[in-house]
């Protein structure tokens, strides 16, 4: 492998990636290493071995808890998506077009090794966590789960290397596979359903990741709150988290509506019909979550949980009629989440559900025709 080629890739891809994500790395590793080296247990009555165990408990959790391995897998998946997104954006720059005809002159082995080393540097934080958890896990007698973490990281690097190679070498092949709803011929393509086709055509990956994350959240609640599952508070918290998990899809729906369906405000639809259309679409989006909610709950609670999950998602959609800026949306999302969490913990269910539903209707009625989208 030519060292000069790797230096070029390092300057083009790796440096720019860390320049964009440097603040996130500082926060994550600051929390991790501050727990390892500086945090002190309360009381100060621990032995040296117990104090060492306390400092390494965060890394040890990745080595002995299956749920943390699943969390690490999804973290690696998100990291890979961000990495691929960055690499693809840098490759599309006009100043980097030379890579497509210069780099392809090398053999497959050289190309693969170069991309593998490039992604190895990009995945370096994950590799450090995986190898540190492996070392800590082996020292405490855990011999199976710690080895999964480096394997997941290396497999992610290899898969991304093959995907990037395929992208570069097949850049001029205009073959594409389009997936769509299997029942599209019988589905009425009204305004309220068009975003479903947008999801299956352009937003397949966010849709799949959102639903996989919903399944993981549901499994985590069943495992972590097994003793408390019969209580209404845990079930309400689950419905809240599942609704907020779809916040990105709801945001994309509003962007799609303001860019592709702006004509809807000029159509002779009543406000009640428009509200019903959006409610129908939100029900479509939440169908997997609603099925999960109904699995381990009884009938009276099912209706309450489904209504709360739907009302929360509809309120998130209504908030975007007030302001569609992502920064404002994220702040309101966190405020809504923590407010609902506090009300749930205090057991104020019968106040929470009408409050969320009435707030969504008021916001929709007040801001729908007043909203102006400024891209």
Q: In terms of Cα–Cα distance, which of 328, 258, 255, 246 is closest to 282?
A: 246
Residues 6+ apart with CB under 8 A from 66: 145
d(CA 133, CA 43): 27
> Per-residue confidence at 173, pLDDT binned at 50, 70, 90?
very low
Query: Tokens 């509506």 correspond to what residue?
Result: 257
Q: Does 238 have pLDDT greater than 70?
A: yes
pLDDT of residue 356: 93
Q: How confident is the model at residue 189 (pLDDT cuts 50, 70, 90)?
A: low
If you average pLDDT over residues 213-238, what whole number do you get? Answer: 85
**Residue range 21-44, pLDDT digits in tens:** 766 666 666 665 555 554 555 445
Rounded CA separation 228/281 (Å): 33
Q: Taking Cα atoms as reference points, which of 82, 116, 92 lies closest to residue 209? A: 82
Which of 174 and 44 is assigned the larger pLDDT? 44
Highest mean pLDDT among 57-66, 159-168, 180-189: 159-168
Cα 332 to Cα 214: distance, rounded to the nearest angstrom: 21
CB contact at 8 A, 97 and 127: no
Concatenating the DSSP letter of every residue in 333-375 gives HHHHHHHHHHHHHTT-HHHHHHHHHHHHHHHHHHHTTT-----
Quickly state the pLDDT bin for 175 (edges 50, 70, 90): very low
Q: How would you class 335 by CB atoms within 10 Å of its CB: exposed for 0-12, middle for 13-18, buried for 19 or more?
A: exposed
- Identify the weakest region by mean pLDDT among 250-254, 258-262, 345-349, 363-367: 258-262
For 58-112, list the strands marked E by DSSP: none
Q: Higher-confidence residue: 143 or 281?
A: 281
Backbone angles phi, psi at 140, to 5 degrees: -105, 10
Note the pLDDT of residue 236: 92
pLDDT tops 80 at residue 290: yes
Q: Does 363 score more than 70 pLDDT?
A: yes
Phi, psi of 65 (to 5 degrees): -105, 120
Measured CA to CA, the distance from residue 283 to residue 114 in angstroms comes to 46
């Amino acid at each position: 492998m030519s060292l000069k080629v790797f230096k070029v890739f390092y300057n083009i891809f790796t440096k720019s990636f860390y320049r964009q994500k440097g603040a996130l790395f500082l926060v994550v590793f600051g929390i991790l290493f501050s727990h390892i080296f500086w945090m002190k247990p309360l009381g100060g009555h621990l032995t040296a071995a117990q104090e060492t165990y306390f400092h390494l408990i965060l890394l040890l959790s990745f080595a002995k808890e299956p749920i943390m391995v699943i969390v690490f897998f999804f973290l690696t998946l998100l990291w890979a998506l961000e990495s691929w997104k960055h690499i693809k954006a840098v490759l599309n720059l006009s100043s980097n077009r030379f890579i497509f005809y210069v780099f392809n002159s090398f053999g497959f082995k050289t190309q693969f090794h170069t991309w593998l080393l490039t992604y190895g540097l990009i995945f370096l934080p994950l590799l450090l966590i995986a190898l540190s958890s492996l070392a800590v896990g082996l020292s405490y007698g855990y011999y199976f789960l710690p080895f999964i973490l480096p394997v997941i990281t290396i497999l992610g690097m290899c898969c991304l290397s093959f995907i990037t190679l395929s992208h570069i070498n097949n850049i001029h092949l205009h073959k594409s596979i389009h997936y769509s709803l299997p029942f599209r011929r019988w589905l009425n393509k009204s305004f309220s359903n068009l975003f479903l086709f947008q999801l299956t055509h352009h937003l397949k990956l966010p849709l799949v990741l959102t639903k996989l994350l919903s399944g993981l959240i549901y499994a985590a609640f069943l495992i972590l709150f097994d003793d408390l599952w019969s209580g209404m508070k845990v079930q309400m918290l689950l419905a809240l988290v599942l609704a907020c998990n779809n916040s990105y899809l709801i945001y994309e729906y509003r962007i799609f509506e303001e860019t592709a369906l702006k004509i809807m405000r000029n159509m002779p639809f009543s406000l009640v019909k428009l509200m019903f259309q959006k409610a129908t679409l939100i029900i479509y989006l939440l169908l997997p979550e609603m099925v999960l909610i109904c699995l381990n709950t009884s009938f009276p609670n099912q209706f309450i949980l489904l209504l709360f999950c739907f009302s929360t998602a509809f309120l998130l959609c209504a908030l975007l009629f007030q302001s569609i800026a992502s920064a404002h949306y994220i702040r309101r999302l966190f405020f809504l989440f923590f407010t609902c969490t506090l009300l749930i913990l205090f057991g104020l269910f019968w106040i929470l559900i009408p409050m969320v539903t009435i707030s969504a209707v008021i916001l929709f009625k007040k801001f729908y025709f007043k909203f102006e989208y400024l891209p």
